[in-house]
Each structure stands twice: as C-alpha cells, then as structure tokens.
Amino acid sequence: MSAIKLNTGLLMPLVGKGLWKVPRADAADTVYNAIKTGYRLFDGAGDYGNEKECGDGVARAIKDGLVKREELFITSKLWNTFHAKEHVPQLVKKQLADWQLEYFDLFLIHFPVSIAYVDPAVRYPPEWFVDGVSKVQLQNTPYQETWQAMEAIQEAGYAKSIGVSNVQGALLLDILKYAKKAPSVLQIEHHPYLTQQPLVDLCKELGIAITAYSSFGPTSFVELGMDKNTPSLLKHDVTAEISKATGKTPAQVLLRWATQRGIAVIPKSNDPNRLAQNLNSTDFELSTEQLKAISDLNIGLRFNNPVGVSPLLSIFA
C-alpha cells in the first residue's frame, strides 16, 4: 500500500480507518474486520471512548496471526483536559494500556485548546465539560508546555512520531520556534468544501505530512445535526461526473483527490463494502482538470469548529 515517509523516517499508510463515532459495542469487530480487509492504519483518540475495544480488535488480529504489531500504524490523540506537562505522560500510558500496546506510531495533540483537568477515575473520556454537563472551564496551559511534554514522551519511547491537529499556520510557525523538530503530522479537516490550500502548501514546505479528516465533508456531521444543510459531496454533480468518467465510486473519487496530492485519508465506515471501497482508492489517477474541478468546490466551509459552538462561545464572548 502507498505510504508517506514522515520526518521520523516512519512510513504512514496513505489510507487508514477513522474510529470516531464507532460504537464501543462494534469497535473490536470493526477493527478486526478492517485488519482482515487490509487496513493497517487506525486513527483513534482518547475522546472517542472506544480505545479499549479497538485494542481488543487489534489484540485478536495479532493473536490470530492476521498481522504483526510492527505492520500496524496506530494513531491516538491527547485530549484537551490533559495539556499540563504532568498529565501528558499519565494519559499516554493510560491510552497505551487501553490499546494493550507498548507504543503509538503517532500521538497527536487533539485541539490547541486547554481545558480544566478531569481525573480519569472520575469521568473518562471527559469531553468538553468540567461537570460532565454544561460548563467548559479553560485552563492556563500554554501550547509550548504541552508540545515539550509530547517531545518527552516521544523520547521515552511511548510514541514513535508526534504531531498536532486542528492547528492553523500561525500557531504552526510558533511551534517551530521551540520545537526540537517540526511535528511529523498535522491532522486537519480537509475536503473539497474546505481545501485549506495555503496551510497544505506551508506544511509541504516544512516537511510536515498532512492527514485529512472528514474527507466527505458534511456526511459525517449529518447524524450530529452539524452539517449546516450542505449538499452532499458524494452526490455533487462534479463528483458524479468524475465518478462516471473513471468508473470509481464518488467516495473513491473524493479520497483520491486527497491522496493523489500526497494527503493521507482516514475515512470512517463500519460497512464491509465501503471499508473495502475506501481502502482500494489509490489505484487510479485523476487528471489535472479533474483535480482542479474538485478543488474549485472550495467555499472555506468548516463543520468541526468546537471553539465556535455555544458553550465555548459564551466563555470567549
């Protein structure tokens, strides 16, 4: 399978499987079946609340001889409540224990937003609210402290590569002022309605690999009521036309638009047909015109913007 070489020398597969909103009851089987289908990269996070079950799926696949640990690329993320330097090692160890792993291939800071610590023994995952219901409480941890704690856990061997997510260019440039080495990966919302081309170009220049999330744009947000009534990219005329011309599904076209430009994708599906379809989306080429027609759909529309939702807005207001 095609891969991107990270600045740590590690190879990150171009296509992986996202684990957000995978119900705990299905997670072990979903991961196991995805490994059977050929997936090697899994994109998890403490916040997804399913890391133990995902770890069970991995453990079963290794035990059954489907795959070896070193053939897998497991990503996880540090949640916003754990940005203080003493919490970063505490959480990476907890998350590794949940996954039943000794190291992550990639560990990311989930959001550049630091909120008050919630003891995992009290509530895990803690989500955004300090009391589990309504009130977001910001915490005074500078991003530099969190990044340097990430470097320490990498040096201690808990993560082979470290990176960031949901970060814009200005913060990225600031990180470079104190980082020993540039983050290996930036994970961002990236789809034809939100191409973020200047940020993509900046990362290319800095040797930072990009992973796109929510590659199908509004589709992922329909079930959350956060799709802003946006027309589906999977049914868009431009996608449909290219799908017809290439003989590939609309989903494969949208994924290829990213991977052909060197951007990794981590689509989420629990359906066996879609899982296989998404994985087998790198064996064709889009023409320059087709790539441009898709990029031209950009309207700068972001669906995942937690700092813009009401409980946080009331704090920043």
Does position 195 bind ligand NAD by CB under 6 A? no
Strands 73-78 and 159-165: unpaired
Residues 91-120 binding ligand NAD (CB under 6 A) are: 110
Q: Which CB sits closer to ligand NAD, 156 or 260?
A: 260
Does position 274 bind ligand NAD by CB under 6 A? yes
Q: Give the per-residue contact string, 10-49, with ligand NAD (x = CB under 6 A; - = no).
A: --------xxx----------------------x------
Q: Which CB sits closer to ligand NAD, 176 or 222?
A: 222
- By rule CB under 6 A, what count of residues binds ligand NAD? 24
Name which position in 104, 120, 267, 294 contacts ligand NAD (CB under 6 A). Answer: 267
Name which position in 84, 234, 238, 291 contacts ligand NAD (CB under 6 A). Answer: 234
Q: How far is the CB of 133 from ligand NAD (least distance, A)?
A: 22
Residue nearest to ligand NAD (CB): 18
DSSP for the chain, please give it.
Answer: --EEE-TTS-EEESB-EE-TT--HHHHHHHHHHHHHHT--EEE--GGGS-HHHHHHHHHHHHHTTS--GGG-EEEEEE-GGG-STTHHHHHHHHHHHHHT-S-EEEEEE--S--B----TTT-SS--S-TTSSS---B----HHHHHHHHHHHHHTTSEEEEEEES--HHHHHHHHHH-SS--SEEEEE-BTTB--HHHHHHHHHHT-EEEEE-TTTTHHHHTTT-STTPPPSTT-HHHHHHHHHHT--HHHHHHHHHHTTT-EE-----SHHHHHHHHT-SSS---HHHHHHHHTT-----S--GGGSHHHHHHH-
Does position 210 bind ligand NAD by CB under 6 A? no
302, 107, 307: which is closest to 190 by C-alpha? Answer: 302
What 177-181 contacts at long range (C-beta under 8 Å, 24+ apart), as own/partner pairs, is 178/144, 178/147, 178/148, 179/147, 179/151, 180/151, 181/7
Q: Which of 32, 39, 48, 213 is catalytic?
A: 48
Name which position in 30, 76, 141, 215 contacts ligand NAD (CB under 6 A). Answer: 215
Name which position in 82, 278, 286, 294 contacts ligand NAD (CB under 6 A). Answer: 278
Contact 34, 18 (CB under 8 A): no
Q: How far is the CB of 7 from ligand NAD (least distance, A)?
A: 19
Active site residue 103: no
Name which position in 216, 243, 264, 286 contacts ligand NAD (CB under 6 A). Answer: 216
Q: Which CB sits closer to ligand NAD, 46 or 120?
A: 46
Does position 268 bind ligand NAD by CB under 6 A? yes
Q: Give the per-residue contact string, 241-260, with ligand NAD (x = CB under 6 A; - = no).
A: ----------x---------
Q: Which CB sits closer to ligand NAD, 142 or 306?
A: 306
Name which position in 214, 239, 243, 290 contacts ligand NAD (CB under 6 A). Answer: 214
Residues involved in catalysis? 48
Tell me which residues touch ligand NAD (CB under 6 A). 18-20, 43, 110, 165-166, 187, 213-216, 219-220, 234, 251, 266-269, 274, 277-278, 304
